[in-house]
Structure 1
Amino acid sequence: MSAARAKGPVTVTFLGGLGDVGRNCTVVEVNGKLLVIDFGVMFPDPALMPGVRQVLPDMDWLNSRASDVVGLVVTHGHEDHLGGVPHFLRNIEVPLYGSALSMALAKHKVTEARLGDRTSFHVLGDGERRRIGPFDVEALPITHSVPQSLCIVLHTPAGALVHTGDFKIDEAPVDGRLTDLARLRELGDEGIALLMADSTNADRPGRSASETEIGTTLRRLFAERSDRRLIVSCFASHLHRVQQICDAAIDEGRFVVPVGRSMVNNVRIARELGVLDLPEPALRTAEQLDGFDPSQVCIVCTGSQGEPNAALSRIAADTHSEIHLGPHDTVVLSSHPIPGNERSVFRTVSSLAKHGAEVIHDGHELVHTSGHAQRDELRQLHEACRPRWFVPIEGEYHMLARHSQLAREVGMRDHRVLTLTDGAQVVLRDGNLSVGRGVPAPYHYVDGALDDPDAEVIGERLALTAGFVHVTIVLDKRGHLAASPDVASRGWIDTDEHADVVDALGDEVAKAVERAAKASGSKTDAVDIERVARRAAGRFVGNRTRRRPAISTAVILLG
């Protein structure tokens, strides 16, 4: 049945990206079948999510509809849109769709996770229309900081739905591949039912600088430091930036040395696809650095966001096996901190500086431009699309709200602009849009090889950051204390210096337990005694030390 003849509503469910930067995921339903657009990760906040490696969209609702999912379309190769694909495939076996580069990056991830038998990879060319189940999918070229990004257009019974993915409107992109505004205007003339557009830079006026401007800055910086070793850090997927780093380095007579697992892999994949022009004679590995003069070397590495195990962080900590910093080094952070990563990034900058290296970031020079549209570019998109309904996506809530404001500024009526959050559903039917019941969309935390921790476990970890106090109570056959309570702690107080406080805590718990034992007579219940002891310990610790460590108790009954 064609989309034009199909009956019934079209439902859009937002499982991630509406309220946070990251873990982007949108699901569209037509005729009872689901098409997923993106399944990305989010950087965890170490202060709020201790021990967490990744945050993903929750899959409970999708798992309940697993047999209805006909495909997963990837808009581009960034981790916040692609990084969760292996986790998705562990739950749902489904084909993947996207540009050649996105599919190559996805294939590498899927192969590493040993999940290649659970999917197939299908390349969408620029301007191509493809039938995926009941979905009529059109892929349009759109500019971003990673090559071959796609704007996804779904031609549905309710009209055209446009999902931009991440984008900017770069009029001089490195690869010459422009955003297809002409086709978006045609679709606007025909009638776009719903526009879903990137909101990351909706707060920022004007236009983002063209990526080619960064190349100009890099060439100047490289020329001015012809006698120094250069280390440039950026996202491994930011291959337009990597290309410009390589071009500037080669023009200065330097070898290019990719460092960091994802950088090495992405450079290899991009060279194989012809996306990255890096001649073999100009390429070296980190193991080959010995014997080269600093003026001959340009290292391009991962770690621009201060990730603890990334190459730049290991270089800054002097734990990298091949690269050791000194006053002869210039480090360029060709990036800008993702919201929430600022502290980690500038901690890394300080560590680099302590080694005597010169550090350059976008506070000093134009070494980074955003891949996300600013307000003038967003206005240009809206004027081309002229949608009937609009939902801002991909951003923190204040970014979504600002994008909604801009939509109203270009003439959309208030009721046609919806600022939503994760879990929201919209239903399009007969030219109208309504907000559905929604689905649960909590964070899904990834940590280690066992079951992923839930919010309760993360809460317990947060409690442990203030320390831990454990009290053991031993009761005799009559239910009375057989010995003084034993107090053990970690991270609460210096127990040697404050032994009197530890003794007082034991005494307080002993009194509470004896009172409870007398009150219960011969019917001493270990669970009740444990509860009494925990309350007494928590009350004493809070009042005496004004601290709130995690409190636990254990009761041992003799005989």
Structure 2
Amino acid sequence: MSAPRPTTGRKRSNSRSGQRGGTTSSPVTVTFLGGLGDVGRNCTVVSQDGKLLVIDFGVMFPDPAVIPGVRQILPDMEWLKSRADDVVGLVLTHGHEDHLGGVPHFLRSIATPLYGSALTMALAEHKVTEAQLSHRTSYHLLHDGQRRRIGPFDVEVLPITHSVPQSLCVVLHTPAGALVHTGDFKIDPSPVDGRLTDLGRLRALGDEGIALLMADSTNADRPGRSASETEIGATLRRLFSERPDRRLIVSCFASHLHRIQQVCDAAADEGRVVVPVGRSMVNNFRIARQLGVLDLPEHALYGVEQLERFAPSELCIVCTGSQGEPGAALSQIASGAHSDVTPRDGDTVILSSHPIPGNERAVFRMVSRLARQGAEVIHDGHEMVHTSGHAQRDELRDLHEACRPRWFVPIEGEFHMLARHAQLARELGMKAKRVLTLTDGAQITLKGNELQVRAGVPAPYHYVDGTLDDPDAEVIGERLALTSGFVHVTVVLDTQGRLAAAPDVASRGWLDTTKHADVVEALADEVAESVERTVNASRASPDAEEIERAIRRAAGRFVGTRTQRRPAISAAVISLM
């Protein structure tokens, strides 16, 4: 049962000038470790009475052309680890990877309880169990409208609509006043599950006095309102009915269970069975059905190993990979590499998503591969098969008019999104000094009616690479250099410190050494002359490091001038002395 909501015992003006702060002078500090300048790796930390409450710990997926070889990017934990004993809990606003994907990594460093809705906790528990970290945490359900203590923190959670069910808006009642963290949200008037954003409670909190609003900025650039999720269902039912003889493949995020429910409903209307494909899709089907979030009878659900039992007209495959991820199911299907699903002439593939910024090239490469196989590919450029889970400008306006905060920090977005959200707040009447556009690592302290921006903490990218993590910037730079190939020169010096033989040049990815043997020979000559000059110019015998530097300089100049390319260059000196 939800705890009763205490009242402040005073009434406040609806104008911003009438807003008041907390009744005591105990300071509250908010630290932003991720999500301010990027779409992803969201993490906010609130400090009160010497304790820390963490809100979200998500991942970001890098563009492999910019950051090669890195699987995930996480918020940096060095500052948090220095205060590990002060962490009282990690609250997860919803079940998307950019908000909970880093939980196993977090728990490896800091053992702490997890808090969230039933679906969010189930998704987190699956990750934690797979990582064999169950002994490092416990799971605590937060229900819509509930108010509870987590350490010294007075936490209230409100229902808020998003593209994953059971998303929560987090309200912290602090000595400095109420802090509202929306998580990701939209204001959907007709959500699939009927669970509405609790604007009424936000208005009541606005009347009492909200000290700080931290709100999703992802769609702050987009005018108007996002379409309701239920509108997508109507499009899917029409597309399905118009293609009675085709095999249907629908791809979306595995966590987008409202969308998946509508796909399942459309399939049922057409007498099709549903086959989930992709590890995360299969897991999320199982979890959601167990929790009653996904309504799909057992007789309509089959495993991928049973595909051949059904004619194309009887099938609806629901799979991961709508973002063109190389290892995901749809990418493997498109390239013919999937072990169970082979693309067929006459398939209809529906991409029920929109490319995340940076993924466009990968998505449309995949679309072209599917088209080459004879598939009809439908995406949101053709039909209304996707709507955003993030509030657009009119919805953001509704939020601000309900909350009327004393201070505002736009969160969760690239910097231009944060700036546009800040502009909207000023257009709605907030004074410019009360709207703070910050970046990762920023810290603010609220005390009474005042807010101070502090020096902040380091918040670099934390890279995860295979089974190891945190390759540094130098390693990433070396990988980028290797995209142009590499050249390695080996020099052997005789007992007199002079060349014992012509330099040996080895390369990969620089040029075709068979076709351009003359270039390789000219490079060897250039290096030999450089080594001779270095030896002759030295009063004493030059050491190996000095000769290596001379080789790298000579090879770099030659390669850049002769081939207009910049491969990575390395050198080795072998001395027979």
| Structure 1 counterpart SS, 2:157 | strand
Give the CA deviation at 1:429.
Answer: 1.2
Partner of 2:13: none
1:265 maps to a residue whose letter is: N
Give the CA deviation at 1:313.
Answer: 0.5
1:541 maps to a residue whose letter is: V
| Structure 2 counterpart SS, 1:289 | helix
1:36–1:73 Cα contact (<8 Å) kept: yes
Partner of 2:526: 508
1:478–1:522 Cα contact (<8 Å) kept: no
Give the CA deviation at 1:395.
Answer: 0.5
1:373 maps to a residue whose letter is: A
Give the CA deviation at 1:316.
Answer: 0.4
User: 2: distance between equivalents of 1:318 and 1:532?
Assistant: 49
Partner of 1:436: 454
2:34–2:44 Cα contact (<8 Å) kept: yes
User: 2: distance between equivalents of 1:327 and 1:505?
Assistant: 52
Partner of 2:257: 239
1:79 maps to a residue whose letter is: E
| Structure 1 counterpart SS, 2:140 | strand
Please point out which of 444, 453, 472 is paired with 2:490: 472
Partner of 1:133: 151
| Structure 1 counterpart SS, 2:309 | coil
| Structure 2 counterpart SS, 1:147 | coil
User: 2: distance between equivalents of 1:479 and 1:37?
Assistant: 63
Partner of 1:175: 193
Within 5 Å, give how 1:67-78 maps onto structure 2.
67-78=85-96
2:252–2:352 Cα contact (<8 Å) kept: yes
Unmatched 5+ stretches in structure 1: none
Give the CA deviation at 1:7.
Answer: 5.1
Partner of 1:158: 176
Give the CA deviation at 1:497.
Answer: 1.2
1:214–1:367 Cα contact (<8 Å) kept: yes
- Deviations along 1:172-229, whole A, 9 cap, x unmatched? 0000000000000000001101000000000000000000000000000010111111
Give the CA deviation at 1:96.
Answer: 0.3
Please point out which of 175, 180, 190 is paired with 2:208: 190
2:506 maps to a residue whose letter is: A
Give the CA deviation at 1:410.
Answer: 0.8
2:216 maps to a residue whose letter is: D
Distance 1:376 1:51, change over 3 A: same
Please point out which of 437, 440, 447 is paired with 1:422: 440
- Deviations along 1:331-361, whole A, 9 cap, x unmatched? 0000000111111111111111111011000
- Deviations along 1:274-301, whole A, 9 cap, x unmatched? 0110110110111101131111110111
Which shows bigger deviation, 108-117 or 282-291? 282-291
- Deviations along 1:410-458, whole A, 9 cap, x unmatched? 1100000011111111111121111111111111111112343111111
Please point out which of 93, 106, 121 is paired with 2:124: 106
Distance 1:264 1:133, change over 3 A: same
Partner of 1:338: 356
Give the CA deviation at 1:328.
Answer: 2.5
1:479–1:522 Cα contact (<8 Å) kept: no
User: 2: distance between equivalents of 1:183 and 1:142?
Assistant: 11
In the alignment, structure 1 residue 118 sits paired with structure 2 residue 146: no
1:198 maps to a residue whose letter is: D
| Structure 2 counterpart SS, 1:290 | helix
- Deviations along 1:451-502, whole A, 9 cap, x unmatched? 4311111110000001100011111222211111111011111111111111
In the alignment, structure 1 residue 308 sits paired with structure 2 residue 326: yes
Q: Number of paired residues?
A: 558
In the alignment, structure 1 residue 520 sits paired with structure 2 residue 538: yes
| Structure 1 counterpart SS, 2:67 | coil
Runs of 4+ in 1 over 6 A off after TM superposition: 2-6
1:553 maps to a residue whose letter is: A
User: 1: distance between equivalents of 2:23 and 2:150?
Assistant: 16
| Structure 2 counterpart SS, 1:492 | coil
1:39–1:80 Cα contact (<8 Å) kept: yes
User: 2: distance between equivalents of 1:11 and 1:35?
Assistant: 11
Please point out which of 485, 504, 510 is paired with 1:492: 510
1:7–1:31 Cα contact (<8 Å) kept: no
Partner of 2:417: 399
User: 2: distance between equivalents of 1:437 and 1:183?
Assistant: 34
1:162–1:195 Cα contact (<8 Å) kept: yes
Give the CA deviation at 1:52.
Answer: 0.9
Partner of 1:383: 401
Which shows bigger deviation, 521-530 or 170-179? 521-530
User: 2: distance between equivalents of 1:311 and 1:276?
Assistant: 21
User: 1: distance between equivalents of 2:25 and 2:495?
Assistant: 74
Give the CA deviation at 1:5.
Answer: 8.1
- Deviations along 1:374-422, whole A, 9 cap, x unmatched? 0000000000000000000000111000000000111100000011111
User: 1: distance between equivalents of 2:435 and 2:484?
Assistant: 44
1:294–1:328 Cα contact (<8 Å) kept: no
| Structure 2 counterpart SS, 1:552 | strand
Please point out which of 9, 24, 43 is paired with 2:42: 24
Please point out which of 326, 335, 347 is paired with 1:329: 347
Question: Percent identity over the alignment?
Answer: 79
User: 1: distance between equivalents of 2:115 and 2:468?
Assistant: 29
Partner of 2:558: 540
User: 1: distance between equivalents of 2:351 and 2:514?
Assistant: 46
Give the CA deviation at 1:8.
Answer: 3.0
> Normalised by the size of structure 2, how large is the TM-score?
0.95
> Normalised by the size of structure 1, how large is the TM-score?
0.98
| Structure 2 counterpart SS, 1:305 | coil
2:425 maps to a residue whose letter is: A
User: 2: distance between equivalents of 1:356 and 1:227?
Assistant: 15
User: 2: distance between equivalents of 1:482 and 1:62?
Assistant: 56
1:6–1:31 Cα contact (<8 Å) kept: no
User: 1: distance between equivalents of 2:227 and 2:112?
Assistant: 38
